[in-house]
Amino acid sequence: MTAEIIDHPSGQRRPDPERVASRFWMKHDVKAFAFETSTMDAEGAGALILLRGHYFITGGLPKTDAECAKVCRLSARKFARIRSWLFSFFDDEGRSEELDASICEAERISATRREAGRKGGVSKALAFARREPKQNPRQSQLQSQLQSQSEEQQPSESSSSSPPPPSEPRAREADEIANEVLGRLPLSARAHPGWRGFGAWIDRILSGGAHRVDVVAGVTQCLRSLEDKPPSSFGYFSAAIERAREARTRSLPSVGTRVMLAMPDPELLGPAGEILRKRIGDDVFASWFGKAHLTSIRGDTATVAVQNSFVQSRVIAEYERPLLEALSAADPAISRVVVVVGDNR
């Protein structure tokens, strides 16, 4: 049984501090302790409590009798008188199964709480990273004043050329794109504060006419060189998105657009291809490579078009690695592959 706190006869008891109340205490069998110390005086019972507490905190008994006497708050003579009785509660090696079990339980609960706190902290960091940056009232007032001044200086026709406010569907699409792209990163990388406002930036470029497929392809290409870290500015992705748009809108060659990848030789795909094939299965693997189209080869870059179903799979990056190995094996000059997702039936 565990010890219960007995209230003061007056009915009043000072509450424990929050930090102490949440701490896991050592188990103490009150009934057995009262029976085992019935022949001892209060000094001996107190010495046993102090010795057990020292064992629970440090994981073992003191090394010398002098240290034991100091822990028990006894003189050397008094400790020598009750030494054999105190050590009868421990085995020959100075261990106690009861206290060892309490220590293991306390460490287990502490580890569980620590892991729960870590997960909660990561979740809060992710939620905070997805929020728009807040502004204090002074910043909001200054921004409104600057906006009103710019409206007074510019003629009325300039207002017609300004882009319309973001619509709700486009805002949802921007969040979906941000979640899709960042979903490929490790959890710790997604929690980086540098990704804060990424969804709002995607919303702005979508309002400027960018296509969802181009944004996903361009950002995915850049994430590999960034090593899962956010750039100093989201404008870093603009050039890659433009290259993806050019590759998507470029006209297909009139002859020989089908890629010879119906079922590539596993030796040409390398380890990345073998991992992907085992993960998705032979049938899906053959379908993916069989429905791909080689749209162009310029310099060291090969552009490959795949169907819209690849967007939902979220394994474009894993698909590009074996594809690059297969193409570079046939043509060593190819060192880069751009996969464009679209309706290419």
Please report where in the chains the tokens 């996969």 appear, as a residue.
339
Element (H, E) at 112: helix 97-130
Three-class secondary structure of residue 305 per DSSP: strand
Three-class secondary structure of residue 276 per DSSP: helix
The phi and psi torsions of 298 (rounded to 5 degrees) equal -125, 115
CB atoms inside a 10 Å sphere around CB 129? 20
CB atoms inside a 10 Å sphere around CB 61? 20
**pLDDT of 320:** 75
User: Domain residues of the chain, as ranges?
Assistant: 23-131, 166-249, 266-341
**pLDDT of 215:** 84
- Inter-residue contact 278 to 322 (CB < 8 Å): no
Residue type, 253: P
Residue 119 CA: distances (Å) to CA of 1, 122, 182, 185 = 33, 5, 18, 17
Please report where in the chains the tokens 């057995």 appear, as a residue.
32
CA trace torsion 126, 131, 133, 135 (10° rounding)? -130
Please report where in the chains the tokens 């940056």 appear, as a residue.
133
Long-range CB contacts for residues 168-177, cutoff 8 Å, separation at least 24: 170/203, 170/206, 170/207, 171/199, 171/203, 173/206, 173/212, 174/199, 174/200, 174/202, 174/203, 174/206, 175/130, 175/199, 177/202, 177/212, 177/215, 177/216
Q: Which residues pair with 338 in a beta bridge?
A: 303
Pairing of strands 336-341, 301-306: parallel
Chain centroid, CA 299 distance in Å? 39
Q: What does the alpha-carbon distance between residue 147 and residue 207 come to, in Å, rounded to a whole number?
A: 20
Residue 297 CA: distances (Å) to CA of 259, 302, 333 = 12, 4, 10
Nearest to 291 by CA among 328, 226, 341: 341
| Domain 266-341 -> CATH class | alpha beta
Long-range CB contacts for residues 22-30, cutoff 8 Å, separation at least 24: 24/105, 24/106, 24/109, 24/110, 26/52, 26/53, 26/56, 26/99, 26/102, 26/106, 27/2, 27/98, 27/101, 27/102, 27/105, 28/2, 28/3, 29/1, 29/2, 29/98, 30/1, 30/3, 30/4
Tokens representing 113 are 């709480």
**pLDDT of 4:** 45
- pLDDT tens track of the chain, all 345 residues? 344 444 445 555 555 555 444 445 666 667 777 777 777 788 888 888 898 888 888 888 888 889 989 989 989 898 888 888 888 888 888 888 888 888 888 888 888 888 887 777 767 777 766 665 555 566 566 666 666 666 665 554 444 445 545 556 666 777 888 888 787 777 777 777 777 788 888 888 888 888 888 888 888 877 767 777 777 787 888 888 887 787 777 654 443 443 443 334 545 566 667 777 777 777 777 766 666 777 777 777 888 777 655 544 455 666 777 777 777 777 777 888 777 766 544
Q: Tell me whether residue 215 is exposed, middle or buried, using C-beta atoms within 10 angstroms of its C-beta: 0 to 12, 13 to 18, 19 or more.
A: buried
CB atoms inside a 10 Å sphere around CB 47? 25
The phi and psi torsions of 315 (rounded to 5 degrees) equal -125, 30
